[in-house]
Amino acid sequence: MPNAPLILASTSRYRRELLERLRVPFEVESPWVDETPQEREPPAALATRLALAKAQAVAQRHPAAWVIGSDQVADLDGQPLGKPGNHEAAVRQLRSMRGRQVVFQTAVAVVGPGHAQAQTVPVHVRFREASDAEIEHYLRLEQPYDCAGSAKSEGLGISLLEAIVSDDPTALIGLPLIATCRLLREAGYPLWESAR
């Protein structure tokens, strides 16, 4: 189905900017999915479930389209950390992560006619021992309240980190493009033919 539209099931500007790198035409639509974790749901399972749910919600409205869904959950000792939403929650998150390793579980799903597949890409991030003053100053400058883990590695948040280990460098920003390309190819989406 070479003429089937490609839709990003997301309201995230970060994911939209990342998908634009592939130079394929796509639309953006909000999936309107409840992102509440299930009881004792591991962070990787939560990210995968939500990525699929987002793609499937939009695919139900556009059954002939290819739909990409994605979700990211920060995993601190098996406990999920979501988007802080405000300054106070971001301060708590960054204080809890300093000097520790956090695994950012970034899932992507591709859903199309007769097809649904997902992959979760872990990104291991080691936070340095940032002081309370550094955390406060960073949050006032960048205000990353819409980012899981309260730090933007693509911006000043990189100064809070000691190391990032991943097989897919864009996964930490919110959409693992290597995995996305693989899933699109496996689904039969004409990636190269669509790029412009």
Catalytic residue (one of 71, 77, 132, 167)? 71
| Lookup result for tokens 């996305």 | 180
Q: What distance in Å separates the CA atoms of residue 120 and residue 5, rounded to the nearest whole number?
A: 24
Which of 1, 35, 7 has its CA nearest to residue 110?
7
Q: What was the pLDDT predicted at 35?
A: 86
Asked if residues 2 and 193 have their Cβ atoms less than 8 Å apart, the reply is: yes
Q: What distance in Å separates the CA atoms of residue 75 and residue 54, rounded to the nearest whole number?
A: 20
Q: What was the pLDDT predicted at 191?
A: 85
Q: What distance in Å separates the CA atoms of residue 139 and residue 88, rounded to the nearest whole number?
A: 10
Q: What was the pLDDT predicted at 60?
A: 96
Q: What was the pLDDT predicted at 1?
A: 46
Query: Across the 196 residues of the chain, what is the mean pLDDT of every consecutive 10-residue run?
Result: 82 93 96 89 95 97 96 92 92 96 97 94 97 96 91 92 95 95 92 82
Q: What was the pLDDT predicted at 161?
A: 96
Domains and CATH numbers, the chain: 6-194 (3.90.950.10)
Q: What was the pLDDT predicted at 6?
A: 96
Q: What distance in Å separates the CA atoms of residue 62 and residue 57, rounded to the nearest whole number?
A: 9
Q: What was the pLDDT predicted at 105?
A: 96
**Whether residue 132 lies in the annotated active site:** no
Side-chain half-sphere exposure of 7, counting CA atoms within 13 A: 25
